[in-house]
Chains A and B, each alone.
Chain A
Amino acid sequence: AQKVTQAQTEISVVEKEDVTLDCVYETRDTTYYLFWYKQPPSGELVFLIRRNSFDEQNEISGRYSWNFQKSTSSFNFTITASQVVDSAVYFCALSGDMKTSYDKVIFGPGTSLSVIP
C-alpha cells in the first residue's frame, strides 16, 4: 500500500530562517511520482513541484529546494530565508504509475508552517 508520512505536524520559525519540511513515502511501485503542494489560509492548493522516481536530481526554484533520496524514501522540502508569506500548510503527495488508468494521489497529513515576523 502507498503511504506518505509528514512527521512534523507544526513548525514555527522566525522570518529569514531556513526550514526543512520532511516527507517519507512508502510504495511498492518502481515508477511513481512525488508532489508538494502549498495550502495558504485562503484554502486553495497550490502546486509546487512534481518529481518522478527516476529523477533523483535535486531541484531549486528561487528560495525553494527539494531533496529526493530513493535510498531513504524521502522527498524533503527546504525553504531558504523564510518569509511571512510562506506561512501555510504544506502537503507531500505520492501517486503510482498505472499504465492503463489513473492512479490516485495519496496525500500526507500536512505540515503547518508558521513564519513569525
Chain B
Amino acid sequence: SAVISQKPSRDICQRGTSLTIQCQVDSQVTMMFWYRQQPGQSLTLIATANQGSEATYESGFVIDKFPISRPNLTFSTLTVSNMSPEDSSIYLCSVAPSGGTDTQYFGPGTRLTVL
C-alpha cells in the first residue's frame, strides 16, 4: 500500500477564488488520480495524473477549471479555479502503486466549502 497525505484537510473559500490542494505520497508511484465527491454522492474521477505527461481529464472536467500538476513521482496538486458553491465537495487523491489494474489507495481527502 502507500501512505498518502493531503493539504489542506479542509477549507472554506469565497466564491470566485481558487484553492490548490496538495497530495504527497510516501513512495514513488506512476499513476495518481483526483476524485471529487459531492455531498452524499459517490466518487467521480476528475483526472489521471502521470508524471511527465499532461493530465487526462474525464468527461465534464476541463483543465481550465481543474489544473493539475505532477512535478515528480511522489507529489501532485489539484487547483479548483474560480470556485462556486457547486464546487463544495470532498476532493480525494489516490494512487495505484503498481500501476495498471492495481488497487487504488486514497488520501484523507480535502473538504472544501465554497460560500
A contact set with B: CB distance below 8 Å: 33, 35, 37, 42-47, 50, 91, 95-98, 102-105, 107-110
Contact = CB atoms under 8 A, between A and B. Distances in A.
A50 B104 CA distance: 10
Given A47-B1, A107-B43, A102 B103 contact: no
Interface in B1-41: 1, 31, 41
B42 A105 contact: no
Given A47-B1, A102-B31, A91 B101 contact: no
B101 A44 contact: no
Interface stretch (B65-73, B76-84, B105-113): B105-113
A43 B96 contact: no
Contacts of B104: 47, 105
Contacts of B52: none
Nearest to A108: B42
B66 to A, nearest CB: 16
A44 B107 contact: yes
B63 interface: no
A36 to B, nearest CB: 11
B108 A102 contact: no
A47 B48 CA distance: 19
Contacts of B42: 91, 107-110
A52 B111 CA distance: 32
Contact of A102 (B58, B101, B107): B101
Contact of B106 (A44, A50, A98): A44
B55 interface: no
A94 to B, nearest CB: 11
B32 to A, nearest CB: 11
14 contacts: A33-B101, A42-B108, A44-B108, A45-B92, A45-B106, A45-B109, A47-B106, A50-B103, A97-B101, A102-B48, A102-B96, A104-B48, A108-B42, A109-B42
